[in-house]
């Protein structure tokens, strides 16, 4: 069968932050035959860099995308407040929930994705959350997704009248090195992605997010094309 005649698995909404995980998830959903609609959030995060990255990745994957603006005027996170420092990998405990936790963020993102999916009659919502490495975030754990799936089934028209929208978390049990390897095999343009909590021309190399990204590439035995291209 030619690529052109490939049967579609249906529509899917993919939550895209512009980082390594969500970009890999997008390419995986495409590979699985889904017609992907990317959902990008502008929630007044510290910098717009990740929104630009998300747009670039969506364009590179030749997928439609929508940027949704939502105000969370109550703050409650170092990721929303430029006057607070983001945690450095060197000074935080593995077990604590980091200050970059945004209250109920993934629940808000998933709910909006569910709304979008219902409106366009999509079969699935993809989110690149994973419980490894960043295990400090409660909304990245399998037990949260199990509970959210039930809420979605009971609380939506599609869940009540039809089979409902599947909430897919294909990376949930993978570590960063496995995600890097998967991304490379799928042709994810990692040079377009952005993980650093800070903005700027090149990643800071010191924050939690930079630390785990570097660790992932190192353990996968690969060089991060973003770092190479910015040197």
CA distance 7 to 12: 14
- Using CB under 8 A as the binding criterion, the count of chain residues that bind a copy of itself stands at 49
Single residue of 1, 73, 93, 95 touching a copy of itself by CB under 8 A: 73
Single residue of 8, 33, 147, 223 touching a copy of itself by CB under 8 A: 147
Told to check if 159 binds a copy of itself by CB under 8 A, we report yes
Dihedral, 176, 177, 182, 188 alpha carbons, nearest 10: 70
Single residue of 48, 59, 150, 202 touching a copy of itself by CB under 8 A: 150
Q: Which string of DSSP letters, residue by residue, matches 135-168? A: TT-GGGSHHHHHHHHHHHHHHSHHHHHSS--EEE
Single residue of 139, 170, 176, 182 touching a copy of itself by CB under 8 A: 139
Single residue of 76, 187, 200, 205 touching a copy of itself by CB under 8 A: 76
Single residue of 126, 148, 194, 197 touching a copy of itself by CB under 8 A: 148
Name the minimum Å distance from CB 207 to a copy of itself.
19
List residues bridging with 100 in a β-sheet. Answer: none
CA-to-CA separations, 180 to 24, 113, 130, 190, 226, in angstroms, rounded: 8, 25, 13, 9, 13
Instruction: Rank residues 62 and 157 by Cβ distance to a copy of itself and give the closer one.
Output: 157
Instruction: Rank residues 114 and 182 by Cβ distance to a copy of itself and give the closer one.
Output: 114
Name the minimum Å distance from CB 74 to a copy of itself.
4
Q: Look at the block and give the residue holding tokens 């799928």.
A: 186
Angle, vertex CA 14, rays to CA 8 and CA 19, nearest 5:
130
Of 144, 139, 109, 123, the C-alpha closest to 39 is 109
Binding region for a copy of itself (CB under 8 A): 66, 68-77, 97, 101-108, 110-112, 114-120, 138-139, 141, 143-144, 146-148, 150-157, 159-161
């Amino acid at each position: 069968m030619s690529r052109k005649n490939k049967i579609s698995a249906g529509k899917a909404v993919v939550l895209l932050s512009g980082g390594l995980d969500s970009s890999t998830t997008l390419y995986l959903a495409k590979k699985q035959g889904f017609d992907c609609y990317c959902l990008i959030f502008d929630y007044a995060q510290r910098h717009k860099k990740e929104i630009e990255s998300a747009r670039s990745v969506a364009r590179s994957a030749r997928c439609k995308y929508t940027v949704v603006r939502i105000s969370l005027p109550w703050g409650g996170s170092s990721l929303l407040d430029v006057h607070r420092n983001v945690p450095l990998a060197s000074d935080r405990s593995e077990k604590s929930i980091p200050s970059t936790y945004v209250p109920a963020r993934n629940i808000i993102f998933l709910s909006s994705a569910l709304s979008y999916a219902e409106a366009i009659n999509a079969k699935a919502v993809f989110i690149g959350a994973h419980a490894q490495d960043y295990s400090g975030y409660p909304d990245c754990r399998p037990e949260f997704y199990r509970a959210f799936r039930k809420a979605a089934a009971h609380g939506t028209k599609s869940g009540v009248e039809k089979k409902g929208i599947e909430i897919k978390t294909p990376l949930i049990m993978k570590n960063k090195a496995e995600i890097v390897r998967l991304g490379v095999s799928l042709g994810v343009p990692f040079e377009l992605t952005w993980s650093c909590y800070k903005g700027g021309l090149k990643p800071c190399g010191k924050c939690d997010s930079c630390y785990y990204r570097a660790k992932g590439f190192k353990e996968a035995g690969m060089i991060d094309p973003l770092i190479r291209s910015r040197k």
